[in-house]
Structure 1
Amino acid sequence: MAEVRSRQFWRSMLAEILASLVFVSAVLGSSLPGSEGPSLGPIYPALAAGMATVGLGHCFGEISGAQVNPAVTLALLATRRLDVLRAVVYVVAQCLGAILGAGIFYLVLPLKFTAEIYVNKVPMEVNAGQALGAEMLATFQLAFTVFSVEDQRRREGSEPGNIAIGFSVSAGIFIAGKISGGCLNPARSLGPAIIAGYWEHHWVFWIGPVLGAVLAGVSHEFFFAPSASRQKLVACLTCKDIEIVETASVSRSSLSTVTQTAMRAKQTNKLEHN
């Protein structure tokens, strides 16, 4: 429990609350109907969400990771990139920030009854199963990008790739926008649902993103990452130290690369000599 008493722990929690508040406010604000009526298509919410993600990554990336999304947080927990305590606190903070963001935005709306347009809904011409599939696919590509960027940052210490993540958020909303509304984020759906009291098919916007994110995290960490190996998967399933196995995998991969390069150089020199 020493972590709970640390200043960094509470700074991280507050960062997730504020980041979620800003993110939800940006998405809701971009959906505000103009004088010509409701905006057509997902282009404004997609651009607003992507831009907000880039900005929040720079603001809070070094504090909490600017996860903002419970689906991404649960994927990090499933792959043991995040401990249980911090994951639970982050999810609660993200939902609280989303509720506050939706509530504040509701107070400043010109007409209170328009709040219902901000709730994620399954369109009449689409069934819940189709919306679920769209949410899974869109969130899968988002979470896979997040894991890829984080893996590269750990290995190379480069810029954390906020622009790549922002683009993937926008792409996800474009993918699922006209099928499920392009939620990708359970907290973003929860905030307006509580304020407007609309819960129809709300489960789609939790199960879809969470399943998509967890599948992306598992597939990246244990199949596509440079450190992926059967031993790493077994270590995760048996609650052993993944970092030791991961370091060994990366070392073997680096040694193999060096060996192959040396062999190619030796063959080239031999051919030139002949």
Structure 2
Amino acid sequence: MTLRELRSREFWRAVLAELMGSLVFVSAVLGASVPGPGGPSTGPLYPALAAGMVAVALGHCFGEISGAQVNPAVTLSLLATRRMDMLKALAYVVAQCLGAIMAASALYLALPLRTTADCFISMVPLEVNVVQALGMEALSTFQLVFTVFSVEDQRRRENPEPGNLAIGFSISAGVLTAGQYSGGSMNPARSLGPAIITGFWENHWVYWIGPVLGAVLAGMSHDFFFAPSASRQKLVACLTCKDIEMVETASVSRSSLSTVTQTAMRAKQVNKQEQN
């Protein structure tokens, strides 16, 4: 990223979108985690529904501005696969964490009882091993980020499939799957905000290493093994800091070329028939 791009209105508009998106996302998830007056804990169902639905809404609001990532794990996976440069990724992560802290602070001040803030915290249950919680965070984030990358590829091909719904369902599924083992955070910023407000840091590293590890593995496995443009040359280009776009153009498979050729031939035939 050049200094001119850093000063551009579009860049700071995108950073602000990530801050606002993270604030809204974390507010929705934490708000759904708080039990009613005198009521029992809501469990993972309400946060899962809230996270999935607000993700769909944010995709429509900020998708064209910043991608509506609102998750440092997603941003770092894009950085690892070289879909985003270092400076922009750093700005996004800072904005996401700041938005999460603002959301946790606002909800904490709005709580009638401060003790209910314990529902905000991402913590490893006593009956669960730390390694198990780490694995569940990595696994649930893996399926989320793999879905994000797949949706992005479909958008590049101008596929009309509702990708925001797929991402929302993926988030809800991840929270429901990992909720009883680790809380189903899948988002380091979502865990950081409540940790700063409440001062609870026990096993906090799980909610950074787990999601980031799962996200990076998902992004790299999609781009270098499952994507239509995946190839060994593309993987080598990423590891050696070469231009990936040039490799993607040069490594078009024969099947893709034959499909393009067939499409062109059919178009010519249609033009000839119309002329006749």
Q: TM-score, normalised by structure 1?
A: 0.91
Are 1:189 and 2:199 matched, yes or no?
no
Equivalence for 2:228:
226
Question: Is 1:72 aligned with 2:74?
Answer: yes
Structure 1 residue 222: Cα displacement: 0.1
For residues 116-139 of structure 1, the C-alpha deviation after alignment (integer angstroms, 9 at most, x for no partner) is: 221001000001100000000000
Cα distance in 1 between the residues matched to 2:159 and 2:8: 26
Question: What code does the residue aligned with 1:38 have?
Answer: P
What's the counterpart of residue 165 of structure 1?
167
Contact 2:27-2:104 within 8 A present in 1 as well: yes
Alpha-carbon offset, residue 260 of structure 1: 8.8
| Gap change, CA 1:249 and 1:158, over 3 Å in 2 | farther
Are the counterparts in 2 of residues 120 and 183 from structure 1 also a CA contact under 8 Å?
A: yes
- Deviation of residue 226 (structure 1)? 0.3
After the TM superposition, list the runs of 4 or more consecutive aligned residues in structure 1 that deviate by more than 6 angstroms.
none
For residue 272 of structure 2, what is the aligned residue in structure 1? none
For 2:39 and 2:6, the matched residues in 1 are separated by 48
In structure 2, the partner of 1:118 is: 120
CA distance in 1, matches of 2:191, 2:251: 39
Match of 2:104 in 1: 102
How far apart are the structure 2 equivalents of 1:141 and 1:231?
25
| Equivalent of 2:59 in 57, 60, 64 | 57
- Name the SS of the counterpart of 1:156 in structure 2: coil
Structure 2 residue identity aligned to 1:52: V
How far apart, CA to CA, are the structure 2 residues paired with 1:158 and 1:245?
Answer: 27
CA contact (8 A) 1:222 1:229 kept: yes
What is the CA-CA distance between 1:2 and the residue it aligns to? 1.1
The answer for the alignment partner of 1:33 in structure 2 is: 35
Q: Structure 2: which 5+ residue stretches go unaligned? A: 264-276
Supply the AA of the counterpart residue of 1:65.
G
Contact residue 23 and residue 99 of structure 2 kept, 8 A: yes
1:174 has 2:176 as partner: yes
Q: 145, 148, 156: which is aligned to 1:146?
A: 148
Matched-pair contact (CA < 8 Å) for 1:135–1:212? yes
Q: CA deviation at 1:34?
A: 1.4
Q: Partners in 2 of 1:164 and 1:102 — Cα distance?
A: 27
CA deviation vs aligned residue, 1:188-222 (integer Å, no higher than 9, x gap)? 00000000100000000000000000000000000
Shift of 1:251: 6.2
Are the counterparts in 1 of residues 35 and 42 from structure 2 also a CA contact under 8 Å?
A: no
- State how far apart, in whole Å, the 2-side matches of 1:249 and 1:172 are: 34
Q: C-alpha separation between the residues in 2 aligned to 1:252 and 1:54?
A: 37
Q: Supply the AA of the counterpart residue of 1:221.
A: D
Deviation at 1:257, TM superposition (A): 3.8
Distance in 1 of aligned mates of 2:255 and 2:243? 19
Q: 1:104 and 1:85 mapped to 2: Cα distance?
A: 29
User: Cα–Cα, structure 1 residues 196 and 19, in superposed 2: closer, same or farther, change >3 Å?
Assistant: same
**Same amino acid, percent of matched pairs:** 76
State the Cα RMSD in Å.
1.7
Letter in 2 for 1:153: R
Give 1:215's aligned residue: 217
* Aligned residue pairs, count: 262
The Cα of 1:36 is off from its aligned counterpart by: 4.8
Residue 157 of structure 1 deviates from its aligned partner by: 5.4
Structure 1: distance between partners of 2:90 and 2:153 = 23
Distance in 1, matches of 2:260 and 2:62, equals: 37
C-alpha separation in 1, matches of 2:25 and 2:106? 13
Amino acid at match of 1:172: G
Match of 2:268 in 1: none
Q: Do residues 248 (structure 1) and 250 (structure 2) align?
A: yes
CA 1:24–1:30: 2 relative to 1, 3 Å: same
Alpha carbons of structure 1 residues 90 and 190: separation in structure 2 relative to 1, 3 Å? same
Query: Any stretches of 5+ residues in structure 1 without a counterpart?
Result: 262-274
* Distance in 1, Cα, partners of 2:106 & 2:161: 33
TM-score, structure 2 normalization: 0.91
